[in-house]
Amino acid sequence: EAQVTQNPRYLITVTGKKLTVTCSQNMNHEYMSWYRQDPGLGLRQIYYSMNVEVTDKGDVPEGYKVSRKEKRNFPLILESPSPNQTSLYFCASRDQGTYEQYFGPGTRLTVT
Q: Which residues of this chain interact with other proteins, rule CB under 8 A?
A: 31, 33, 35, 40-45, 48, 50, 56, 58-59, 88, 90, 99-101, 103-106, 108
DSSP string of 54-66, one letter each residue? EEEE-S--TT-EE
Could you give the CA distance from residue 8 to residue 22 in angstroms, rounded to a whole number? 7
* Residue number, 49 or 85, with CB nearest to other proteins: 49
* Residue number, 13 or 103, with CB nearest to other proteins: 103
Least Å distance between CB 103 and other proteins? 4
List Cβ neighbours of 44 (8 Å cut-off, separation of 6 or more). 35, 36, 37, 38, 58, 59, 60
Least Å distance between CB 18 and other proteins? 26
Query: Which of the 8 DSSP states describes residue 52?
Result: T
Least Å distance between CB 100 and other proteins? 5
Least Å distance between CB 60 and other proteins? 12
* Residue number, 32 or 111, with CB nearest to other proteins: 32
Burial class from Cβ neighbours inside 10 Å (0-12, 13-18, 19+) for residue 76 reads buried
